[in-house]
Amino acid sequence: METWFIILISLCIPALLKSLIGLIIYSQEKKQKLPPGPITVPVIGNFLWLRNSFSELEPVLWNLRDKYGPIITLRIGSRPAIFVASHKVAHHALVHNGALFSDRPKVLPASDVLTSNQHIISSATYGPTWRTLRRNLTSEILHPSRVKSYSGARRWVLGILIHRLVVDSTSAQVGVGVGAGVRVVDHFQYAMFCLLVLMCFGDRLQEKQIKEIETVQRQMLLSLRRFDILNFWPILGKTVFRNRWKELFELRQNQEKVLIPLIRSRMELVKQRQQQQPPQGKQDPLDQQVKEELEEEDHRVAYVDTLVDLELPDGKRKLEEGDGEPMQRIKMMPFGAGRRICPGFNLALLHLELFVANLIWYFQWTPAPAHDPVDLSEKQEFTVVMKNPLHAHLIPRHPTALPLP
């Protein structure tokens, strides 16, 4: 009994000290003239904010903007968080004064595990490490010539996606779940993993390997919110939340177990190719293949921009060749702005337009009877997704033109 009493006191004293320190820090922040915001009770207020996802926080911020203005301070976790709810102010800060706002603070304990001590492009401090990471990413994967060189991969993945949708759609029409339609998000995610894995590791992996990568990545992304609590009172949390810390390390180890062998294999392949490079002046036999793929990609882009016989939802008008901007250039807010803007947003827009345009051209889409009308409610995962995934009834528009996987 005495032992448990000592343990309880040992846990309570740090908690009390943390609360007192929080009050002191809070009063100091007030003296620093931080932007206005609601009064937050230390400890209790932090727990309340940690329970909310960012999708749940957004409407709260809009309400607070009406009261406090476009720049708002909230205490979330161990640090004050300043939110900018004005496009003009955000542009001024991130673009006109990009160098001042391009750094990243020291990450919290759980994020330190996930980011390998801030050695990933999104969390690295603004300095040599970040510049090296970004330069390598943009030159090796995101450079326009590199993006075009993956045209064959995009055709391959499009064939996989169309084939899976046709098979699943046929099964849904004749199987037990008639009326349920096709749960399309599963096929979209698998297709994107196929493409991005090939771009990252330079090879068409087996379905089992792709599934392993998808599994470990999704497990980590969907578990991120569970680890927020580990950043609150880290020293105390090592004892109180030891099982959750164990879960975090296991997820990280699973990632490394799947990804590191692929990285090493790719490094070895690159090394071998460098040793086998022909003497300068000799023509590499792969050059002609790359040239043909680039020509096919140009044709593909022209095809996407001139969709024909595409029915609009009202059924009254069809897009014809020459209409231009057939999809009204789907708008997409890139992640961030200025120097820390997401370097891959142009690639994301390319894939968005290419795959959506082809899916509309190949299939007629209607809500599945069992899921009509479509529910557009949202929930937060790694990004904002549909709370109830889309189930669709698909009818091929051009059965004889379906691509092969």
Residue ranges with strand state E in 98-185: 182-183
- Are 403 and 159 a contacting pair, CB within 8 Å? yes
Which tokens hold the place of 320? 């014809």
Give me the amino acid identity at 149. Answer: S
Pairwise CA distance, residues 36 & 296, whole Å: 56
* Count of helices and strands (H, E) across the chain: 14, 9
Separation CA 77–CA 34 (nearest Å): 17
| Start-to-end CA span in the chain (Å) | 67
| Token pair for 34 | 């931080």
Q: Which ranges of 202-281 does DSSP label H, i.e. alpha helix?
A: 207-223, 234-240, 242-275
CA distances from 20 to 9, 40, 43 (A): 16, 14, 10
Whole-angstrom CA distances from 134 to 140, 244, 341 are: 10, 32, 11
Binding-site sequence positions: 342
Say if CB 128 and CB 134 are below 8 A apart. Answer: no
- Token digits of residue 346: 């142009």
Binding-site positions for heme read 342
Residue 287, CA atoms < 13 Å, CB-side half-sphere: 7
For 168, which DSSP code? H
Q: Is the peptide bond before 373 cis (omega within 30 degrees of 0)?
A: yes
Neighbouring C-beta atoms of residue 25, cutoff 10 Å? 15
Burial class of 58 by CB neighbour count within 10 A (0 to 12, 13 to 18, 19+) = middle
Orientation of helix 286-305 relative to helix 345-362, angle to 10°: 70
What DSSP string describes 48-83?
HHHTS-HHHHHHHHHHHHHHH-SEEEEEETTEEEEE
Q: CA-CA distance, 309 to 319, in Å (whole number)?
A: 6
